[in-house]
Structure 1
Amino acid sequence: THPALDGRPVVRLVPGALGEAEDLAMEFLGLERQPGTPEVGTVRRETLGFPARALVDDPANGHHALALVKDVERLARQAKGLPGVAKGGFEHLGERLARSVPHFLPPFYEQAARIYLEHGHRSFAATFFARAREAERVHALAVDEEQQRAAFLEFAFAGALSVKALREYAGDVARRLDPAAAWEQFRRLTVERCAAGLPPYTAMPRDVRAMIRASGLPRTAEECRLLAAVVASPAAERASGAFWKAFLPSLQVLAAEQPRVRVRLLEIMPRALGLGAQDDEFWLSLLAGTGADRLLTGEDEASGEVDAADWLARWARHRKNRGFAPGRCPATLALAARMAPRLRAGGRTVDLFTGRWELGADLDLLDLCLAEGVPLAVPGPDADVRL
């Protein structure tokens, strides 16, 4: 309520996490807080922005944050069409905060980054997110680990988080926390990124091993704990060859312990390994090393969980869907030959022809399947097939 409103209440619908900040902002405008704030619905989870987070963290100095609200709104409008000009304005405001309340810099720069994201300027957003982290280091600010991890995920999901920022996070958290706690924070961030479909970055194995080594925890066990989550995530298909090669020994241990991992490896068609036949050979060697190939041939007692005909069709399509002839792959032929008895017994037709853009087939694989009597789904007589 406000004295000028004759007792009429002012109601604002905000996420619960922002309620305290909104109340403080309204008090600054002369409104009186009413006891009791009932929950009336649900909204998507949000992290505190600026000035809300500044008001919650340090209400005594909240006037410094509120004094910038109009300038931030002006720059937000300018950022859409003149992002470079607005950048200078945000930097000037940041210098003002640094002189008086440097602990307000991280939420301020993150808010600037969000503004740029709203306008589709991801590079500017990434720059200001990095500024927020730099301010934490330069001014030796206390960090709320949960809040910071939420911010990292927010910007990662928006495509505004660089590999450099992730690697710096690994170093920063290692300096702030004891080694075991630092590893747990980094592991959680990695798992949550992958759960959202973001692939592991190339240097991640190096950072993971450095943190595990510092923690004194058993390396293989911790790598398996991480791999179990990453392999189960949608990001696994986009993991690079460097990731799979680095973690192959631990992956073999994990697959031996957890049959579901072997099944999951057969669901994955690795899109980021490379474009050559040697990359396909590597993936098939990985399946052999983990025992996943035995699910296809019927040698594993859990083979009933895997549709061998479907896997061979998907593998053939995967090899064709890279825009050019993939080259001869002896490992594919060897595995198909081992699968042939099960494929014949199952009686399900295998589609070797369907591709992303056109019908076609690997002649070597087609010839082998015909020779082995594997049932095939044959295109119609009028279909154009590229051989």
Structure 2
Amino acid sequence: MRPDITQAPFGQLPDGSAITRFTLANANGLVAKIIDFGGVITELHAPGRDGRLADVVLGFDTLEPYRSDSPYFGALIGRYGNRIAKGRFTLDGQEVQLPANNGNNHLHGGDPGFDKVKWQAAVEGDSLRLSYRSRDGEQGYPGNLDATVTYTLTDDNELVVRFHAVCDRATPVNLTQHSYFNLAGSGDILGHLLLIDADAFVAIDAESIPTGELAPVDGTPFDFRSPRPIGSRIGEADQQLRNGQGYDHNFVLNKPGAKAMTRAARVVDPGSGRVLELFTEEPGVQFYSGNFLDGTLQGKNGPYRHRSGFCLEPQHFPDSPNQPAFPNVILRPGEEYRTESRFRFSTEP
């Protein structure tokens, strides 16, 4: 084991299974702490312009809240990130019914999804490899799915997340990483400057289900093609903002090719100078502005209040199994699901 990946106990599950926290560090002082329960990133320490480190992800100090109270803080999401309308879709002529765990709809793979299971962990060189077999019928999904996620913290200050999956029956697959970021380390995120390289976003109804429209961002509060404070227009009388109770929308990334690795987003905290850039092969990114945080969750640094974190979840579009015009999410036997995203940290004056 390399000296920059260490491990320590992080509690145990009710069945007695031990959970381990792995600490990845690079040559520049970045530190990422990841547990083999849900593949959760529990801490991510990055320097500001003054060189001081701050933990820039929301989370908990102990295991139990991740089991019972977490709104997907730092977790791996699967089999299907985001929502599927009424948990229902037709695949190869057969209707599939998934549990409705978000009102009338299916969200983030069900309960439990990949965020609440123990993954098999292995250190491979400078990477942490997590593997999980989702068995046929788990949360209603057809077929066995073997998923692998590899985390690597590079000396270029990138946290690289690589996904791989294979199956023995056709099944929808849309894996993502669901960290909540606050580049200041505390307070709200409304003053963070956000850029998203997207000319359109997926319009949603009052239940956050896509209408099928890829709506232009031009002239709307969803235009982040130039950097703007997250909070600058979040309170406008816009129906899409009302539907999401803020930003909780998938942005359609501008890409030269379907699998091109492109910069999806850039976020700056003006106070600390910390910068986060997301690069991804995915066609979309879900931007969520922490609308449902309400101060009731006690996190690492006290209560997490309204909009004290934001998410940038690289993924395919919501409800794609019911939206034939959206990019394909069906994985079939003999195919390989592969996708990579990179979270790059830096500073600016």
The TM-score with structure 2 as length reference comes to 0.20
The TM-score with structure 1 as length reference comes to 0.18
Higher helix share: 1
Point out the structure with max Rg over C-alpha: 1
Q: Which protein, 1 or 2, shows the higher relative CO under an 8 Å CA cutoff with sep ≥ 6?
A: 2
